[in-house]
Structure 1
């Protein structure tokens, strides 16, 4: 319960272009964590490591109002963590009493098996009888939407065995109804394709920023695109998730950063840059590369 602030630097070696991540410091910060104090602390941290602010492409933080204010005070470009943004987008889209009910039901099912050796044994026996994968149930971590997805996916996978084991009078009320199953299947079908993107865009040993715009484009045109046969419930989850992400990445400074990174990636180049912005991006890239060349010659 003591306040600390960590600073990690990500950089590319000029010799072989490998990406590195180093935790520079984890410093005790007893002062109030106000935006102004955090701003000074971050500046001091960079200075103590002889790092020049001008060479910093951007900084990634959580969404605390104090740290967001600190970055604004320092006039630094802040890039939101994609994995965290996706988590918040999905949490925002999940604000529905039907979802609250079925996720609560899933947690109760997992709990009733985790606290009973007898039920776990019976589940394993029924799994063999029904030729189901001999998997244990999974619980969720509130700060990771993917863990909820895994919990739901496992419940659906093991539903025949769960229903058979929970067939006695004391726990029969925990067996999902057909309405519950419809909601769970809609959640699973909508969100399972998103799971791989969280880990893929949260790597430290490879560049991921250049994939943000292409991924958002893929969400809009394919993964979260509303289909004719989607239920109204599914449409709501898709549209709310996509709307949240688009709003959070609409900031002009963020868009400029993403445009530059995407253009420099040979897989994407300018395929995801708006036509009216391409000339500006080319001019900025030319200026920056010229500056690097002149600095090298000198």
Structure 2
């Protein structure tokens, strides 16, 4: 709206000055200066707001890079700017930095950014890199331990069954004396092997080739899921988080359009199906 007023400033001034009763509404140079300051400060944020509010692509991993871009380029003070422009930019930066300054939020954003192959640890604070790697290892270990192979089931014949043939006694081989039962095998070597596999997978991921910022990280993870099995599970966990509440608000709006005064008797299950179809067709 402000950009449109500045664009049509000459026409607005001409129309208002032609009417004696409206001449006092002609924008003064102070008014124009304020409008230009607000427009210069807010116009760069429009595209970023639309991008972070999307729901057809990964958005949560963009938050840290966007904040870095705001602090160092987009909203940084420039020579020749008015004091009002500098004040507006500073207020915006203070608000955004305070909004995402919560430790839990920072931890979540660091994990989402690290698991995105486009950014990895590029926008993670140097003091938090080791903490992020430690949490990645811990979550990768928890994923590896939860997925255990199922023990094989053997069917034992009933000893009282007279019709069952007697089992032939087999001789022990020399190698059988060197076998160790699973219950007696120490746990530390397996844990060490698991830690080594996790460390190797994590290092291989961070040393992999850089991905273009325009590529879809979900497609990348689909192609490299076998190469990074544990990290691909973490990508499913973190990259599905929306960066803003806009997607949920769109769902609420869709539900409000479906459930109205003429369709107030719909069952909850029917509403769920209709909203799902409306958002996915």
Q: Encode CA deviations 1:55-114: one digit per residue, 9 max, x unaligned.
A: xxxxxxxxxxxxxxxxxxxxxxxxxxxxxxxxxxxxxxxxxxxxxxxxxxxxxxxxxxxx
How far apart are 1:261 and its partner, in Å?
A: 0.3
User: Could you say what secondary structure the match of 2:20 adopts?
Assistant: coil
Q: Deviations over 1:98-143 (max 9, x none)?
A: xxxxxxxxxxxxxxxxxxxxxxxxxxxxxxxxxxxxxxxxxxxxxx
CA drift of 1:296 comes to 3.8
Instruction: State yes or no: 1:204 paired with 2:55.
Output: yes
Aligned-pair CA distance for 1:297: 4.2
Equivalent residue for 2:85, pick from 200, 224, 234: 234
| TM-score normalized with structure 2 length | 0.50
Give yes or no for the alignment of 1:217 onto 2:50.
no
Looking at structure 2, the residues matched to 195 and 286 of structure 1 have their Cα atoms a distance apart, in angstroms, of 37
Q: 1:177 aligns with which of 19, 24, 28?
A: 28
Deviation (angstroms), 1:215: 0.6
Q: Secondary structure at the match of 1:163?
A: helix
Task: Provide, for residues 128-178 of structure 1, a one-character-per-residue CA deviation record: whole Å limited to 9, x for no partner.
Answer: xxxxxxxxxxxxxxxxxxxxxxx1111111111112222211212222111
SS at match of 1:226: coil
Distance in 2 separating the partners of 1:156 and 1:293: 59
Q: Which structure has the greater CA radius of gyration?
A: 2
Secondary structure of the residue that 2:21 maps to in structure 1? coil
Q: Mind listing any 5+ residue stretches in structure 1 that lack a counterpart?
A: 1-150
Distance 2:80 2:12 in 1: 29
Rounded Cα–Cα distance in structure 2 between residues aligned with 1:232 and 1:191: 15
The one of 94, 117, 125 aligned to 1:243: 94
Match of 1:158 in 2: 8
Structure 1 counterpart of 2:128, from 277, 283, 296 = 277
- Residue 188 of structure 1 deviates from its aligned partner by 0.7
1:189-238 CA-to-partner distances (Å, cap 9, x unmatched) read 11101111111111122221111111111110011101121111111101
Indicate the residue corresponding to 2:246 in structure 1: none
Q: CA RMSD in A?
A: 1.3
The runs of 5 or more residues in structure 2 that have no matched partner are 150-281
Q: Structure 1: how far apart are the matches of 2:96 and 2:59?
A: 17
Separation in structure 1 between the aligned mates of residue 48 and residue 25 of structure 2, nearest angstrom: 32
Q: Which structure ranks higher in relative contact order (CA pairs < 8 Å, sequence separation ≥ 6)?
A: 2
| Distance in 1, Cα, partners of 2:148 & 2:58 | 27
Q: Higher strand proportion, which one?
A: 1
Q: What is the TM-score with the length of structure 1 in the denominator?
A: 0.48
Partner residue in 1 for 2:213: none
In 1: Cα distance, 2:102 partner to 2:114 partner: 18
